[in-house]
Amino acid sequence: MSGALDRLDSGIYPPLFRELRTLAGNYWWSWQPDGPELFRDISPSRWEEAGHNPRRLLDTTPLSRLTELDVDPRFRARARDLLARFAADLAARSSWAEGLAPRLTPERPVAYFSAEFAIHESLPIYAGGLGVLAGDHLKSASDLGVPLIAVGLLYRQGYFRQDLDRSSWQNERYVDIDVAALPIQRVVGTDGAPLSVTISIAHRRVHVSIWRVQVGRVPLYLLDTNRDDNEERDRWITGHLYGGNQDTRLVQELTLGIGGVRALRALGVQPAVFHMNEGHSAFLTLELLREQLTAGMPLEGAQAHVRAQCVFTTHTPITAGHDVFGVELVDTFLADYWADLEISRETLLNFGRRRPGDAWEPFGMTPLAMRFARSTNGVSRKHGEVCRAMWRDLWKRRKPDAVPIGHVTNGIHVPTWTAPAARALLAEHLGPAWESRLDDPELPARIDAIPDEQLWELRNRLRRHLVAAVRAHAHATRARKGEDEHFVAAADALLDPGVLTVGFARRMATYKRLSLIVHDPARMVRFISDPERPLQFVLAGKAHPFDNEAKRTLQELARVRQPVEQLGRIVYLENYDVALARWLVQGCDVWLNLPRRPLEASGTSGQKVIANGGLNISVLDGWWIEGYAGDNGWPVGDHLDGNPKTQDDADAEALYAVLEREVVPLFYERDARGIPVGWLTRMRASMRSMLPFFNTHRMLRQYTEQIYLRGPDGGSR
Ligand SMILES: *Cc1c(COP(=O)(O)O)cnc(C)c1O
């Protein structure tokens, strides 16, 4: 690192690379055409070693190489083009975004709070779909020019890296984030000194540092307690994402909610709206309440004032996904707080209860958020319905239909998830900047006009890229573990670039049912080893560190894989992250989603395959209920019974049947040109019907117009 600064100071860093180093300080590059590719081409091997962090790449590449590129006209032209687009994009205006004023302005933005953000693989402060959604939300806010700032936590060791041992048991490995090498800046005050805030936890003063990561036009502020002036145990508050016990979780959430509001005040920001992305940040409502009470406002008025500013998105119908804390924990950690608030302990505890006054009920973050939010929404139409039934207690047990919880269906940030080759093809046929015009009424006709040869060539190319990436990943993993050299070399023959490729990757939560794939191992093996029309599987996903059942499923999967291992047609990739996810959603022909209904609130990974020409096979749950239209993918299981065991049997049978009778024949049925025309018809239907809706530009416009800009709903709690 000091080497890099020496280079900058001594003036020997070629000027073009000074500019690229500045560009590398904003994650904007990561979703631009030729952004990642430009940096990668500086030195492909160092790009991998640098974990796709361009700062580190530039700092570790020998000056001789930079000087060589500095006089390469092709490289210079590419770099100049990217730098020009950066400047233009940060300054871009749109009439839609300007029309948000005066309700939303850079001085009065939306403050978006989340415990995780997936911006890029080099910043491992996310675990799964919740973080991906938050990251994609910020990128669309930047693209559309919505005044929005974000608040999260800077975890010292992020989320864990996954290692499977010889028996395929998952072990977790924790690695320190290299703050010095990442584009993360310490926020300083007007006096130039680092800005920090203090919160009180169990009678201790905890100091919180504030960092800033730039995501295009959107600043993401990250809080961190790893400071010399904190006690050792408090330095670990922001140690790990979802790694600790209940105590850790509670103090993390206090840091995010209370520390987050204080950090914004220290920065001089007065948000117009506080958006709680999941209940983890709901303590922010208490801090907003404290501000009003300290200023002398009576409790009722203060509550109304807080409600007018807060909105809440809930993300799961699974009980364990809603944090609750025992009363004794709240007593321990919030003791100073209710004294500050000058409200009684009972009043505070009741804020977190479905049934105020029920002394047996613990303190829940979801009731707290709902009680203080003027708007609560679920993340798909079905999930909205499930939430209304689930939380009606909070509205004095109204009929579910009368519970004021709506929905905004999740989307994905199309530029982030679409392969360069697919972006280029779609730009050719849909026009430049097609990603920001997905609602163009011309889109369907233009998709239909893409010639068969080009569409099919795209699929073949993306499948080949995936196969190459899988081989490289498996080779590197096996070599790192010191496996036997034949086994390492065998990685280079995994998968077949001509075979129908099916992907399944997500957190290994039990309800997501990876296990269905191997429900009938013999039948799966028959599919995989069919001499004429084979199938191959690429699988990935981490189990939560404490979820032994999910870890056992991974072991069981390994046992099923063994007999067909030499065919190399079922591959499990370790250490699922957003980089792996990109390869998978871009390269797979078919994407599987097999949740136990109705537990998938939305799911988003299936949406990522659409622009890449992948097709979905999914249980009709979450987003797929809205996405499936008869001809644009396949549903699994129309039969619903209350018994998980027989439900699994029925859904596995339905999955095998759809693969055998529809998916495999359609893929292998070729015309005289060798093209599967029926498959391409389905691909076009998938893009045409779903691209316009399942994206975060649409999602963010909806949040902005229907929630951020709307007044209080008036429903009483
Ligand atoms: C998209 C994504 C997810 C979410 O997948 P679901 O199918 O919605 O569960 C999780 N993890 C990573 C790394 C992703 O990219």
Indicate which atom in ligand 1 lies nearest the CA of residue 576: 13
On whether both 474 and 358 belong to a single domain, the answer is no
For residue 568 the two structure tokens come to 């190399």
| Exposed/middle/buried for residue 192 (C-beta within 10 Å: 0-12, 13-18, 19+) | exposed
Q: Which of 564, 537, 554, 414 is nearest to 466 (CA)?
A: 537
On whether both 427 and 396 belong to a single domain, the answer is no
Separation of CA 331 and ligand 1 centre (Å)? 36
Rounded to whole angstroms, the Cα distance separating 388 from 401 reads: 7
Q: Is a pLDDT exceeding 60 seen at residue 371?
A: yes
Q: From the CB of residue 533, how many other CB atoms can be counted at a distance below 10 Å?
A: 14
On whether both 542 and 577 belong to a single domain, the answer is yes
Q: Is a pLDDT exceeding 80 seen at residue 345?
A: yes
Rounded to whole angstroms, the Cα distance separating 166 from 178 reads: 30
Looking at residue 712, its pLDDT comes to: 56
> How far does the chain reach from its first CA to its final CA, in angstroms?
54
H or E element, residue 376: strand 375-378
Indicate which atom in ligand 1 lies nearest the CA of residue 412: 1
3-class DSSP assignment, residue 580? helix
Separation of CA 132 and ligand 1 centre (Å)? 7
What is the tens place of the pLDDT at every residue in 445-488?
999 999 999 999 999 999 999 999 999 999 999 999 999 999 99
On whether both 39 and 120 belong to a single domain, the answer is no
Looking at residue 510, its pLDDT comes to: 84
Q: Is a pLDDT exceeding 60 seen at residue 716?
A: no
CATH number of the domain at 640, please.
3.40.50.2000
On whether both 396 and 470 belong to a single domain, the answer is no
On whether both 288 and 383 belong to a single domain, the answer is yes
Among 58, 92, 126, identify where a domain stops: 92
Separation of CA 192 and ligand 1 centre (Å)? 40
| Exposed/middle/buried for residue 243 (C-beta within 10 Å: 0-12, 13-18, 19+) | buried
| Stretch 616-631: mean pLDDT | 97
Q: How open is the CA angle 570-575-579, to the nearest 5 degrees?
A: 95
Looking at residue 169, its pLDDT comes to: 95
Distance set, CA 678 to CA 616, 668, 684 (Å): 15, 10, 10
Q: Which residues line ligand 1 (CB under 6 A)?
A: 128-129, 132, 506, 576-578, 581, 603-605
- Give the predicted TM-score (pTM) of the model: 0.96
For residue 481 the two structure tokens come to 């573990």
Domain that residue 182 falls in: 96-410+701-708
Residue type, position 80, single letter: R
3-class DSSP assignment, residue 360? coil
Indicate which atom in ligand 1 lies nearest the CA of residue 603: 8
Residue among 132, 160, 414 to mutate when testing ligand 1 (max atoms within 8 A of CB)? 132
On whether both 147 and 271 belong to a single domain, the answer is yes
Separation of CA 605 and ligand 1 centre (Å)? 5
Domain annotation covers residue 187: yes
Domain annotation covers residue 74: yes
Rounded to whole angstroms, the Cα distance separating 686 from 609 reads: 10
| Exposed/middle/buried for residue 345 (C-beta within 10 Å: 0-12, 13-18, 19+) | middle
Q: CB neighbours of 534 closer than 8 A, spacing ≥ 6?
A: 496, 499, 500, 527, 528, 569
| Atom 5 of ligand 1: nearest residue by CA position | 605
Looking at residue 714, its pLDDT comes to: 43
| Stretch 287-291: mean pLDDT | 96
Distance set, CA 693 to CA 163, 630, 700 (Å): 37, 17, 11
Rounded to whole angstroms, the Cα distance separating 469 from 450 reads: 27
Q: Is a pLDDT exceeding 60 seen at residue 57?
A: yes
Per-residue pLDDT band for 558 (boundaries 50, 70, 90) equals confident
Peptide bond into 102 cis (omega under 30): yes
On whether both 420 and 439 belong to a single domain, the answer is yes
Strand partners, 593: 618
| Stretch 356-383: mean pLDDT | 97
For residue 394 the two structure tokens come to 């909070």
Of 93-97, 242-246, 301-305, the poorest mean pLDDT is in: 242-246
Domain annotation covers residue 480: yes
Separation of CA 578 and ligand 1 centre (Å)? 8
Q: Is a pLDDT exceeding 50 seen at residue 679?
A: yes
Q: Is a pLDDT exceeding 80 seen at residue 263?
A: yes
The alpha carbon dihedral of 20, 23, 25, 27 has a sign of negative
Residue among 604, 617, 623, 694 to mutate when testing ligand 1 (max atoms within 8 A of CB)? 604
Indicate which atom in ligand 1 lies nearest the CA of residue 622: 8
The bridge status of strand 148-153 relative to strand 218-224 is parallel
Q: Is a pLDDT exceeding 60 seen at residue 3?
A: no
| Stretch 181-187: mean pLDDT | 96
Cα 523 to chain center, whole Å?
34
Rounded to whole angstroms, the Cα distance separating 107 from 268 reads: 9
Looking at residue 1, its pLDDT comes to: 45
3-class DSSP assignment, residue 374? coil
On whether both 307 and 424 belong to a single domain, the answer is no
| Atom 3 of ligand 1: nearest residue by CA position | 129
3-class DSSP assignment, residue 490? helix
Q: What is the mean pLDDT of the chain?
A: 94
Separation of CA 585 and ligand 1 centre (Å)? 10
Q: CB neighbours of 231 closer than 8 A, spacing ≥ 6?
A: 204
Looking at residue 4, its pLDDT comes to: 58
On whether both 494 and 453 belong to a single domain, the answer is yes
Q: CB neighbours of 110 closer than 8 A, spacing ≥ 6?
A: 104, 141, 146, 147, 148, 149, 271, 272, 273, 274, 275, 708
Separation of CA 702 and ligand 1 centre (Å)? 22
| Stretch 646-670: mean pLDDT | 95
Domain annotation covers residue 714: no
Rounded to whole angstroms, the Cα distance separating 159 from 540 reads: 16
| Stretch 1-30: mean pLDDT | 81
Q: CB neighbours of 278 closer than 8 A, spacing ≥ 6?
A: 114, 115, 130, 313, 314, 315
Looking at residue 348, its pLDDT comes to: 93
Separation of CA 506 and ligand 1 centre (Å)? 5
Question: With contact defined as beta carbons under 8 Å apart, do 111 and 271 qualify?
Answer: yes
Read off the DSSP letter of residue 181.
T
On whether both 50 and 106 belong to a single domain, the answer is no
Looking at residue 347, its pLDDT comes to: 93
What is the tens place of the pLDDT at every residue in 562-609?
767 667 899 999 999 999 999 999 999 999 999 999 899 999 999 999
The alpha carbon dihedral of 685, 444, 89, 272 has a sign of negative
| Atom 8 of ligand 1: nearest residue by CA position | 603
Residue among 417, 506, 507, 511 to mutate when testing ligand 1 (max atoms within 8 A of CB)? 506
Domain annotation covers residue 331: yes
Indicate which atom in ligand 1 lies nearest the CA of residue 577: 13
Rounded to whole angstroms, the Cα distance separating 432 from 468 reads: 29
Rounded to whole angstroms, the Cα distance separating 102 from 184 reads: 31
Read off the DSSP letter of residue 187.
-
Domain annotation covers residue 717: no
On whether both 270 and 350 belong to a single domain, the answer is yes
Question: With contact defined as beta carbons under 8 Å apart, do 687 and 450 qualify?
Answer: no
Among 37, 67, 92, identify where a domain stops: 92
Q: What share of the chain is helix, strand, coil (3-state, %, to 5)?
A: 50, 15, 35
Dihedrals phi, psi of 589, to nearest 5 degrees: -75, -35
User: Which alpha helices (DSSP H) does 24-128 contain, by range?
Assistant: 35-40, 44-49, 54-60, 63-70, 73-91, 95-98
Encode 215-277 in three state secondary structure: ECCEEEEEEECCCCCCCHHHHCCCCCCCCCCHHHHHHHHHHHHHHHHHHHHHCCCCCCEEEEE
Separation of CA 128 and ligand 1 centre (Å)? 5
For residue 54 the two structure tokens come to 């361009």
Separation of CA 559 and ligand 1 centre (Å)? 25
Question: With contact defined as beta carbons under 8 Å apart, do 275 and 260 qualify?
Answer: no
H or E element, residue 619: strand 615-619
Domain count for the chain, please give it.
3
What is the tens place of the pLDDT at every residue in 491-533?
999 999 999 999 999 988 888 888 888 888 888 889 999 999 9
Looking at residue 715, its pLDDT comes to: 46
Indicate which atom in ligand 1 lies nearest the CA of residue 580: 13
Separation of CA 581 and ligand 1 centre (Å)? 7
Indicate which atom in ligand 1 lies nearest the CA of residue 541: 11
Separation of CA 591 and ligand 1 centre (Å)? 12
| Atom 4 of ligand 1: nearest residue by CA position | 129
Question: With contact defined as beta carbons under 8 Å apart, do 658 and 676 qualify?
Answer: no
3-class DSSP assignment, residue 153? strand
Q: What is the DSSP string of 633-702?
A: SEEE-----S-HHHHHHHHHHHHHHHIIIIIHHHHH---TTS--HHHHHHHHHHHHHHTTTSSHHHHHHH
Domain annotation covers residue 715: no
| Stretch 82-111: mean pLDDT | 95
Q: Is a pLDDT exceeding 50 seen at residue 223?
A: yes
Among 65, 92, 119, identify where a domain stops: 92
Separation of CA 9 and ligand 1 centre (Å)? 42
Distance set, CA 285 to CA 65, 279, 326, 371 (Å): 53, 11, 19, 9
